[in-house]
Structure 1
Amino acid sequence: DFGLFATASAGGVMLSRILAFGFMSPLYRAASVKPLLIGVFTGGFIMMSVLSLPVLAAASLVTYHLFFGSDLPLSVFALFIVAEALLWRPFEAVVIVNNGLGKFGRGALLVIMGTALRMAAAGAFALWSDHTLAVWALFYLAANAVTFLLAAISSYPRRRVRLRPALYWRRMGDSVTVAVSEVLFYLQSEFDKLLVLAFGGPALAGIYAIVMRLVDLTAIPIRAFSMMLVQKMMRSPEMLRGLRRKIAVEAGIFSVSTCGLLAMALVLHFFPAALGRNVSEAAPLIGLALLVPGLRNLIEYQAELLYARGQTFLRILSLAMLAGIKALVLYLLIRASMSPDTLIVWLNAAFLALYLASATFTYTVLSRPAKTF
Structure 2
Amino acid sequence: MTAQSSRNPTPGAGRRLGSLRLAPLRLVAGAWSTHRTVLIGYGQLLAGAGGRLALQMIYFLVLANTLSLAEMGVFASVSAAGVMIGCLAGFGFQSFVMRSAAGRRSSMGGYLAVYYACFGLALPIMLGLSLALYVLLFRNVIALPGYLAIIVVEVALWRQIELLVQVNNGLGRYAAAATVVSLPVGFRAAAAVAFWAAGGGDAETWALYYLVGNAVSVTVLAFLFHPRTRMRFRAVLLKGRLRDGLLYAASYFMFLAQGEIDKLIVLTLAGERMAGIYAISMRLIDLTGVPLRPMFMMYSRKLIQAGRATRASLRECLKVEAMVACVSTGALVFMVAVLHIRPDLLGPNVSAAYGMLTVIVAVPAVRNLLEFQGELFFAFGRLGVRAGVTTALIAFKALAFVLLLKALPDPAHWSLWLNAIYVAIYAFSFLTLYGLLWRNTAP
Q: TM-score, normalised by structure 2?
A: 0.80
Checking the alignment, whether the CA contact within 8 Å between 1:303 and 1:362 is kept in structure 2 is no
Q: How many residues are matched?
A: 370
Matched position secondary structure for 2:381: coil
Distance 1:93 1:342, change over 3 A: same
Distance 1:156 1:277, change over 3 A: farther
The equivalent of 2:48 in structure 1 is: none
Q: Percent of counterpart pairs with the same letter?
A: 38
1:159-308 equivalent positions in 2, closer than 5 A: 159-239=229-309, 241-242=311-312, 244-308=315-379
Checking the alignment, whether the CA contact within 8 Å between 2:169 and 2:297 is kept in structure 1 is yes
Matched position secondary structure for 2:227: coil
Matched position secondary structure for 1:366: helix
Deviation of 1:276 after TM superposition, in Å, equals 4.1
Checking the alignment, whether the CA contact within 8 Å between 2:77 and 2:264 is kept in structure 1 is yes
1:67-216 equivalent positions in 2, closer than 5 A: 67-129=137-199, 131-216=201-286
The equivalent of 1:19 in structure 2 is: 89
Matched, 1:4 2:78: no
Distance 1:332 1:25, change over 3 A: same
Matched position secondary structure for 2:291: helix
Cα-to-partner distance string for 1:291-343 (whole Å, 9 max, x where unaligned): 11111211222222111111111110010011011111111111123422332
Matched position secondary structure for 1:19: helix
Checking the alignment, whether the CA contact within 8 Å between 1:79 and 1:138 is kept in structure 2 is yes
Matched, 1:363 2:434: yes
The equivalent of 2:419 in structure 1 is: 348
Matched, 1:51 2:109: no
Distance 1:129 1:256, change over 3 A: closer
Checking the alignment, whether the CA contact within 8 Å between 2:360 and 2:418 is kept in structure 1 is yes
Counterpart code for 1:17:
C
Checking the alignment, whether the CA contact within 8 Å between 1:192 and 1:330 is kept in structure 2 is yes
Which of 93, 96, 103 is the aligned partner of 1:33?
Answer: 103
For residues 265 and 259 of structure 1, the distance between their equivalents in structure 2, rounded to whole angstroms, comes to 10
CA RMSD of aligned residues (A): 1.8
Checking the alignment, whether the CA contact within 8 Å between 1:218 and 1:293 is kept in structure 2 is yes
For residues 185 and 347 of structure 2, the distance between their equivalents in structure 1, rounded to whole angstroms, comes to 15
Deviation of 1:218 after TM superposition, in Å, equals 1.4
Cα-to-partner distance string for 1:214-252 (whole Å, 9 max, x where unaligned): 111112222221111111111224455236434312111
Cα-to-partner distance string for 1:247-272 (whole Å, 9 max, x where unaligned): 31211110111112122222333344
For residues 282 and 361 of structure 1, the distance between their equivalents in structure 2, rounded to whole angstroms, comes to 33
For residues 34 and 268 of structure 1, the distance between their equivalents in structure 2, rounded to whole angstroms, comes to 49
For residues 184 and 82 of structure 1, the distance between their equivalents in structure 2, rounded to whole angstroms, comes to 20
Matched position secondary structure for 2:186: helix
Q: TM-score, normalised by structure 1?
A: 0.94
The equivalent of 1:316 in structure 2 is: 387
For residues 192 and 65 of structure 1, the distance between their equivalents in structure 2, rounded to whole angstroms, comes to 19
Checking the alignment, whether the CA contact within 8 Å between 1:117 and 1:147 is kept in structure 2 is yes
For residues 35 and 149 of structure 1, the distance between their equivalents in structure 2, rounded to whole angstroms, comes to 24
Deviation of 1:169 after TM superposition, in Å, equals 1.9
Quick check: 167-176 or 202-211, which moved more?
Answer: 167-176
Deviation of 1:120 after TM superposition, in Å, equals 1.4
Checking the alignment, whether the CA contact within 8 Å between 2:93 and 2:114 is kept in structure 1 is yes
Quick check: 180-189 or 53-62, which moved more?
Answer: 53-62
Deviation of 1:145 after TM superposition, in Å, equals 0.8
Distance 1:168 1:229, change over 3 A: same
Checking the alignment, whether the CA contact within 8 Å between 2:161 and 2:218 is kept in structure 1 is yes
Task: Give structure 2 stretches of 5+ with no counterpart.
Answer: 1-70
Distance 1:130 1:261, change over 3 A: closer
Which of 398, 403, 414 is the aligned partner of 1:327?
Answer: 398
Counterpart code for 1:89:
R
Cα-to-partner distance string for 1:106-159 (whole Å, 9 max, x where unaligned): 212222221121111111101114612221100000111111112111112111
Checking the alignment, whether the CA contact within 8 Å between 2:247 and 2:387 is kept in structure 1 is yes
